[in-house]
């Protein structure tokens, strides 16, 4: 197809036929040129083939000649090998003898170097690398010599071993020096020359490389049958023991951390709180390890992690030891705070969590410490309170001595002071935890204990009151004085509680503030209730002495013997004897209670009268009112006295009221004190100045008006609530 295309392109028109001869000549020349080139190339190939055949022939002859020579040489090989072995053994023996001769002088030199380095542990240790280099060479010589001596008899081998005794001791001494440096890396970096640590690392790395060479050689021998019969390779592989100095270095670091904690444990073996409070040194160590130590080690040593995990592991053991020793509640709370703070400090130091979470401190159960703390606190508070109340109860019940006088000159007992010393101490500990929930729970427990004490005192004084009413002859003297002492103590307790509330409620969020306020307000109210109960019984003691006078009220003796004056004088005697030893607020409460009791007793006796002689009664009631006013104004404000005595004026109005005016006199009375229908009815019925019809009409008027007005009961109740 190609040839046809060429012809078609050459003869496209009839005129192109005239070029036929020219084209023919051209093609003939080209053919001749091609034929010439082909002949030349063929001649070159024939020459090359001929030379190759000639070379192959000569090579075959040379191979044949070498084969013949080799067969001749093999006949003498055994003789040559034996001679070479004898020569090599002779050289080795000569080298061993020379090395043994030089070893002792080298040992002396190395010993002097080592003594110089050991003289100052925090020094520069300038001979560290030279010592290691020389000892490594001597140790290698020793290993090879002993390996070769395996074929010797025991006596010869023992003789050789004796030559190496001093070297072995020096090697061990140097290893102990390296161990000591490894244990004090942190101290060396802080107070010495950090290049010592760098050289220590160089030594460890060198030994690791030597270990790797031996391990690799053993693998080669194991994989290669020819190598198994190579005595030199066998000696190189088996004469050296694997040292694992990197692992030894890490073990030394861990041991040094153990020694640090052992020293701390021993220093504070009887004081767990002091141990926990002085643990800040570990954070300083962590910082220096991060900044100064890890930069001196290759990354593959993971030295930062090694140190942190070693500290963390041993710290965890120490904390568990403390927990297993059944520590005091304060120590439990300190331990909880430490564990919480530890996590924060680790975060600040950028310590990876996985380093300190396998396992975490106390296995991550630090929240259980709060439960243990609260349970222990509860138990201890109960124990302390039982012991405290045992002594207090005995003193109160026996009353063999007058009450103690406190620093303010008041009768008192030690209970409140001692109790709140314990409570404040526990509250302060809880507050220092920074946990609002912890503080709230502690306050709840403290409030429970306070109320428990209040319940005990209430039971005791009620029992004393019952005994006084039933069998006063069996009641020990001094009950009034001790009731005052107890009341003073309860006022102190209320003050202490209020102070505790003010101090703690600002420390917590609103979530816990309400609970704390409720608990302590209840405790305060309870203390005040006990104090009021004491005053109530004191009043009953005083009025027990007034019974003869009370019985004569509104009888003939009332007019003749000035019974109210007698009653008031008796009260004066008690007040004069007791007032200076009472808390001011209690004294005011006692005077107020005496006045109310006087009025209640007075009105009850009046209500019991079956016949009231109006004119003389009114005159005497007015006189009694004046005497009461004169007496009580010594102790109370005039306005308060008049407010209380107003009831007597209202009674006088009821006693003097006419049928037409009764409602006008009753209305202000009922408005303030409530209907009091029975009381008013008894007064009207007993009046001697009224006819039966008049008294009946007046009573009906009062009942009708009371029904119409629906007078409410006063809030708070007045003294009439105790009479009607």
Is 428 or 98 the better-scoring residue by pLDDT? Answer: 428
Smallest CA-to-CA distance from 486 within 448, 450, 454 is with 454
Give the pLDDT score at 90.
Answer: 45
Residue 28 tokens read as: 């003939």
Given a contact cutoff of 8 angstroms between Cβ atoms, the answer to whether 199 and 125 are in contact is yes
| Residue 500 belongs to some domain of the structure | yes
| Residue 281 belongs to some domain of the structure | yes
Residue 663 tokens read as: 């409602």
CA 478 vs CA 248, 359, 482: distances in Å? 80, 65, 6
Given a contact cutoff of 8 angstroms between Cβ atoms, the answer to whether 211 and 243 are in contact is yes
pLDDT at 568 over 60: yes
pLDDT at 318 over 80: yes
Question: Sorting pLDDT into bands at 50, 70 and 90, what band is 370?
Answer: confident
- The whole-angstrom separation of Cα 282 and Cα 300 is 24
Domain shared by 604 and 669, yes or no: yes
pLDDT above 70 coverage of the chain, percent: 82
Q: What is the pLDDT of residues 665-682, one digit of tens each?
A: 999 999 999 999 999 999
CATH of the domain at 437: 1.10.357.50
Give the pLDDT score at 80.
Answer: 43
- Three-state SS at 656: helix
Element at 255 (helix H, strand E): helix 245-267
| Residue 673 belongs to some domain of the structure | yes
Given a contact cutoff of 8 angstroms between Cβ atoms, the answer to whether 207 and 166 are in contact is no
- The whole-angstrom separation of Cα 586 and Cα 572 is 16
- The whole-angstrom separation of Cα 592 and Cα 104 is 109
Question: Sorting pLDDT into bands at 50, 70 and 90, what band is 210?
Answer: confident
Q: What is the pLDDT of residues 6-28, one digit of tens each?
A: 555 555 555 555 666 666 676 66
CATH of the domain at 567: 1.10.357.70
- Mean pLDDT across 125-149: 86
Question: 74-113 as b/e, with b when 16 or more CB fall inside 10 Å?
Answer: eeeeeeeeeeeeeeeeeeeeeebeebeeebeebbeebbeb
Residue 183 tokens read as: 């244990």
405: which strand partners?
Answer: 411
Given a contact cutoff of 8 angstroms between Cβ atoms, the answer to whether 546 and 570 are in contact is yes
Single residue among 60, 82, 106 that ends a domain in this structure: 60
- The whole-angstrom separation of Cα 37 and Cα 353 is 86
Domain shared by 355 and 373, yes or no: no
Among the listed ranges 18-32, 182-196, 262-276, 473-487, which one has the minimum average pLDDT value? 18-32
- The whole-angstrom separation of Cα 269 and Cα 259 is 15
| Residue 48 belongs to some domain of the structure | yes
Give the pLDDT score at 243.
Answer: 86
- Mean pLDDT across 649-653: 95
**Burial tier of 623 (Cβ tally within 10 Å: 0-12, 13-18, 19+):** middle
Given a contact cutoff of 8 angstroms between Cβ atoms, the answer to whether 377 and 445 are in contact is yes
Given a contact cutoff of 8 angstroms between Cβ atoms, the answer to whether 417 and 491 are in contact is no
How many domains is the chain built from? Answer: 4
Domain shared by 571 and 713, yes or no: yes
- In the block, tokens 């020379």 appear at 98
Domain shared by 352 and 374, yes or no: no
| Residue 641 belongs to some domain of the structure | yes
404: which strand partners?
Answer: 412
Residue 661 tokens read as: 């005016």
Instruction: Examine residue 529 and say whether the peptide bond preceding it is cis (omega within 30 degrees of 0).
Output: no
Residue 680 tokens read as: 């008013």
Contacts of 267 (CB under 8 A, 6+ apart): 275
Domain shared by 619 and 504, yes or no: no
Q: What is the pLDDT of residues 515-556, one digit of tens each?
A: 999 999 999 999 999 999 999 999 999 999 999 999 999 999
Question: Sorting pLDDT into bands at 50, 70 and 90, what band is 75?
Answer: very low
Smallest CA-to-CA distance from 283 within 369, 348, 238 is with 348
DSSP state of 561: S
612: which strand partners?
Answer: 687
- What contacts 24+ positions apart, CB below 8 Å, involve 689-694? 689/614, 689/615, 690/659, 694/659
- Three-state SS at 142: helix
**Burial tier of 307 (Cβ tally within 10 Å: 0-12, 13-18, 19+):** buried
Instruction: Examine residue 83 and say whether the peptide bond preceding it is cis (omega within 30 degrees of 0).
Output: no
Give the pLDDT score at 394.
Answer: 92
Domain shared by 603 and 664, yes or no: yes
Domain shared by 443 and 589, yes or no: no
Give the pLDDT score at 81.
Answer: 43
Domain shared by 383 and 528, yes or no: yes
Give the pLDDT score at 73.
Answer: 47
- Mean pLDDT across 59-77: 53
pLDDT at 233 over 70: no
- Mean pLDDT across 565-584: 95
CA 100 vs CA 109, 111, 171, 296: distances in Å? 15, 17, 16, 38
Say how many CA atoms lie within 13 Å of 581 toward its Cβ. Answer: 21
Give the pLDDT score at 572.
Answer: 96
Give the pLDDT score at 104.
Answer: 87
Is 217 or 452 the better-scoring residue by pLDDT? Answer: 452
- The whole-angstrom separation of Cα 61 and Cα 87 is 38
Phi (first) and psi of residue 652, to 5 degrees: -60, -40
Residue 502 tokens read as: 């003010």
Query: For residue 22, what are the domain limits?
Result: 2-60
Domain shared by 683 and 578, yes or no: yes
Q: What share of the chain is helix, strand, coil (3-state, %, to 5)?
A: 85, 0, 15
Domain shared by 617 and 638, yes or no: yes
| Residue 331 belongs to some domain of the structure | yes
Single residue among 11, 29, 60 that ends a domain in this structure: 60
Given a contact cutoff of 8 angstroms between Cβ atoms, the answer to whether 639 and 666 are in contact is no
- The whole-angstrom separation of Cα 17 and Cα 20 is 5
Single residue among 485, 507, 535 that ends a domain in this structure: 535
**Burial tier of 681 (Cβ tally within 10 Å: 0-12, 13-18, 19+):** middle
Strand 411-412 versus strand 404-405 pairing type: antiparallel
pLDDT at 242 over 90: no
Give the pLDDT score at 101.
Answer: 78
Element at 102 (helix H, strand E): helix 77-119
- The whole-angstrom separation of Cα 81 and Cα 340 is 77
Give the pLDDT score at 228.
Answer: 47
Q: What is the pLDDT of residues 497-514, one digit of tens each?
A: 999 999 999 999 998 999
Say how many CA atoms lie within 13 Å of 532 toward its Cβ. Answer: 9
Among the listed ranges 237-251, 375-389, 565-579, which one has the minimum average pLDDT value? 237-251
Element at 670 (helix H, strand E): helix 662-673
Domain shared by 341 and 424, yes or no: no
Contacts of 688 (CB under 8 A, 6+ apart): 611, 612, 613, 614
Domain shared by 399 and 324, yes or no: no
CA 197 to chain centroid, in Å, comes to 37
* Reported pTM: 0.68
Kindly report the length of the chain.
Answer: 724
pLDDT at 82 over 70: no
412: which strand partners?
Answer: 404
- The whole-angstrom separation of Cα 220 and Cα 702 is 127
687: which strand partners?
Answer: 612
Element at 424 (helix H, strand E): helix 415-432
| Residue 544 belongs to some domain of the structure | no
CA 112 vs CA 135, 558, 631: distances in Å? 13, 120, 106
Question: Sorting pLDDT into bands at 50, 70 and 90, what band is 68?
Answer: low
Mean pLDDT of all residues in the chain?
Answer: 86
Question: Sorting pLDDT into bands at 50, 70 and 90, what band is 584?
Answer: very high
E strands of 482-545, at which residues? none
| Residue 54 belongs to some domain of the structure | yes
Smallest CA-to-CA distance from 645 within 633, 656, 662 is with 633
Residue 431 tokens read as: 């507050």
Torsion sign, CA atoms 206, 212, 218, 220: negative
Phi (first) and psi of residue 411, to 5 degrees: -65, 140
- The whole-angstrom separation of Cα 694 and Cα 684 is 9
């Amino acid at each position: 197809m190609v040839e046809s295309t060429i012809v078609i392109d050459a003869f496209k028109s009839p005129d192109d036929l005239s070029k036929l001869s020219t084209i023919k000549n051209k093609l003939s020349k080209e053919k001749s040129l091609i034929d010439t080139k082909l002949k030349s190339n063929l001649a070159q190939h024939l020459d090359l083939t001929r030379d190759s055949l000639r070379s192959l022939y000569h090579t075959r002859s040379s191979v044949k000649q070498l084969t013949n020579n080799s067969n001749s040489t093999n006949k003498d090989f055994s003789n040559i090998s034996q001679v070479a072995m004898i020569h090599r053994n002779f050289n080795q023996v000569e080298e061993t003898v020379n090395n043994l001769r030089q070893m002792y002088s080298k040992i002396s030199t190395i010993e002097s170097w080592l003594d110089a380095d050991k003289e100052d542990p925090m020094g520069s240790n300038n001979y560290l690398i030279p010592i290691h280099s020389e000892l490594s060479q001597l140790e290698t010589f020793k290993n090879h010599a002993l390996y070769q001596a395996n074929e010797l008899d025991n006596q010869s081998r023992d003789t050789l071993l004796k030559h190496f005794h001093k070297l072995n001791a020096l090697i061990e001494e140097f290893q102990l020096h390296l161990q000591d440096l490894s244990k004090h890396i942190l101290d060396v970096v802080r107070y010495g020359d950090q290049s010592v640590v760098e050289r220590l690392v160089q030594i460890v790395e060198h030994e690791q490389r030597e270990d790797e060479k031996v391990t690799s050689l053993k693998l080669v021998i194991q994989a290669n049958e020819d190598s198994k019969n190579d005595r030199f390779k066998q000696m190189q592989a088996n004469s050296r023991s694997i040292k694992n100095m990197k692992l030894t270095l890490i073990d030394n670091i861990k041991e040094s951390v153990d020694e640090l904690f052992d020293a701390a444990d021993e220093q504070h073996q009887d004081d767990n709180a002091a141990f926990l409070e002085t643990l800040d040194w570990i954070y300083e160590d962590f910082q220096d390890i991060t900044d100064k130590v890890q930069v001196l080690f290759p990354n593959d040593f993971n030295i930062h992690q090694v140190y942190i995990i070693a500290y963390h592991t041993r710290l965890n053991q120490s904390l568990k030891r403390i927990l297993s020793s059944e520590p005091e509640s304060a120590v439990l709370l300190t331990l909880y705070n430490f564990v919480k703070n530890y996590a924060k400090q680790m975060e600040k130091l950028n310590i990876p969590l996985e380093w300190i979470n396998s396992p975490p401190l106390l296995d991550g159960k630090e929240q259980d410490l709060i439960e243990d703390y609260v349970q222990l606190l509860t138990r201890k508070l109960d124990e302390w309170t039982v012991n405290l109340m045992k002594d207090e109860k005995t003193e109160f019940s026996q009353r063999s001595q007058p009450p103690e006088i406190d620093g303010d000159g008041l009768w008192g007992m030690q209970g409140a002071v001692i109790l709140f010393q314990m409570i404040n101490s526990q509250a302060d500990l809880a507050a220092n935890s920074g946990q609002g929930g912890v503080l709230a729970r502690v306050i709840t427990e403290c409030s429970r204990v306070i109320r428990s004490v209040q319940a005990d005192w209430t039971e005791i004084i009620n029992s004393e009151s019952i005994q006084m009413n039933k069998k006063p002859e069996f009641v020990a003297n001094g009950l009034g004085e001790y009731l005052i002492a107890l009341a003073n103590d309860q006022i102190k307790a209320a003050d202490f509680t209020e102070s505790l509330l003010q101090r703690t409620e600002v420390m917590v969020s609103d979530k816990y503030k309400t609970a704390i306020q409720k608990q302590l307000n209840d405790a305060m109210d309870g203390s005040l209730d006990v104090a009021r109960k004491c005053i109530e019984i004191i009043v009953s003691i005083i009025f027990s002495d007034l019974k003869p006078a009370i019985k004569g009220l509104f009888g003939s003796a009332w007019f003749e013997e000035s019974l109210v004056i007698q009653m008031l004088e008796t009260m004066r005697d008690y007040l004069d004897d007791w007032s200076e030893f009472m808390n001011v607020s209690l004294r005011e409460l006692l005077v107020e209670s005496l006045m109310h009791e006087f009025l209640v007793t007075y009105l009850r006796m009046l209500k019991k009268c079956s016949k009231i002689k109006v004119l003389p009664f009114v005159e005497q009631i007015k006189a009694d009112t004046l005497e009461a006013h004169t007496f009580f104004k010594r102790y109370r404000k005039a306005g308060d006295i008049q407010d209380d005595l107003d009831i007597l004026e209202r009674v006088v109005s009821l006693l003097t009221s006419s049928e037409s005016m009764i409602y006008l006199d009753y209305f202000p009375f009922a408005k303030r004190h409530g209907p009091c229908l029975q009381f008013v009815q008894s007064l009207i019925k007993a009046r001697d100045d009224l006819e039966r019809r008049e008294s009946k009409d007046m009573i009906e008027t009062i009942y009708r008006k009371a029904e119409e007005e629906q007078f409410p009961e006063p809030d708070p109740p007045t003294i009439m609530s105790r009479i009607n």
